[in-house]
Amino acid sequence: MPAHTSIAATVTASAPASPSQLDVADELLTLLRDATTEPRPDNQLEALTLAVAADLPVLLWGEPGIGKTAALTQLAEALDLPLTTVIASVHEPADFSGLPVVGDDPAEQGVPLAPPDWAVRLVRAGRGLLFLDELSTAPPAVQAALLRLVLERRIGALRLPPGVRIVAAANPRSSAADGWELSPPLANRFVHLQWTHDHEVVVRGLGGTWPRATLPRLSPEKLSEAVRFARRAVCGLLTARPKLVHQLPGNEMRRGGAWPSPRSWEMTLCLIAFATAAGSSREVLSLLVRGTVGDGPGLELLAGLDRLDLPDPEVLLADPAAAELPERGDLRQAVLDGVVAAVRGRPEKSRWDAAWALLVRALETGAPDLVVVPATTLATLRREDWDVPASIEKLAGAVSVSRRADRAAARTALTAKAGR
Q: Residue 355: which residues within 8 A CB-CB, separation 6 or more?
A: 317, 320, 339, 340, 343, 374, 378
- pLDDT of the residue at 290: 96
State the Cα–Cα distance between residues 157 and 141, nearest whole angstrom: 19
Q: Residue 31: which residues within 8 A CB-CB, separation 6 or more?
A: none
pLDDT in tens, 197-254: 888 888 888 888 888 777 788 999 999 999 999 999 999 889 878 899 999 998 878 8
- pLDDT of the residue at 27: 92
Q: Point out which residues pair with 59 in neighbouring strands.
A: 168, 192
How many secondary structure helices (H) and strands (E) does the chain include? 20, 11
Of the candidates 190, 188, 130, 187, the residue with the CA atom closest to the CA atom of residue 160: 130
- pLDDT of the residue at 52: 93
Of the candidates 49, 156, 142, 161, the residue with the CA atom closest to the CA atom of residue 99: 156
Residue ranges per domain, the chain?
37-100+113-211, 220-308, 313-418
Q: Residue length, the chain? A: 420
- Across the chain, what does the average pLDDT equal? 83
Q: How do strand 99-100 and strand 113-114 relate by DSSP bridges?
A: antiparallel
Amino acid at 133: D
Q: Output the DSSP codes for 349-415.
A: HHHHHHHHHHHHHHHHHS-GGGGHHHHHHHHTT--TTPPPPTTHHHHHHHHHHHHHHHHHHHHHHHH
- Whether residue 317 contacts residue 355, with contact meaning beta carbons closer than 8 Å, is answered with yes
State the Cα–Cα distance between residues 48 and 57, nearest whole angstrom: 10
pLDDT in tens, 159-188: 999 999 999 998 886 665 566 788 899 999
pLDDT in tens, 56-95: 999 999 888 888 888 888 888 888 899 999 998 888 888 8
State the Cα–Cα distance between residues 300 and 236, nearest whole angstrom: 11
- Whether residue 122 contacts residue 160, with contact meaning beta carbons closer than 8 Å, is answered with yes
State the Cα–Cα distance between residues 393 and 399, nearest whole angstrom: 10
- pLDDT of the residue at 109: 62
State the Cα–Cα distance between residues 50 and 107, nearest whole angstrom: 48
pTM: 0.72
Q: Which of 25-34, 72-81, 129-138, 402-411 has the lowest average pLDDT? A: 402-411
**Ramachandran angles phi, psi of 283, nearest 5°:** -65, -45
Beta strands in 149-201 (DSSP E): 154-155, 158-159, 163-170, 191-194
Q: Point out which residues pair with 194 in neighbouring strands.
A: 61
State the Cα–Cα distance between residues 63 and 171, nearest whole angstrom: 5
Of the candidates 72, 283, 74, 62, the residue with the CA atom closest to the CA atom of residue 192: 62
Instruction: Find the mean pLDDT for residues 338-357.
Output: 90
State the Cα–Cα distance between residues 313 and 338, nearest whole angstrom: 6
- Whether residue 395 contacts residue 371, with contact meaning beta carbons closer than 8 Å, is answered with yes
Quick one: fold of 37-100+113-211?
Rossmann fold (3.40.50)
- pLDDT of the residue at 402: 44
Q: Residue 12: which residues within 8 A CB-CB, separation 6 or more?
A: none
Of the candidates 194, 350, 191, the residue with the CA atom closest to the CA atom of residue 272: 191
Instruction: Centre a 10 Å sphere on the Cβ of residue 308 and count the other Cβ atoms it contains.
Output: 10
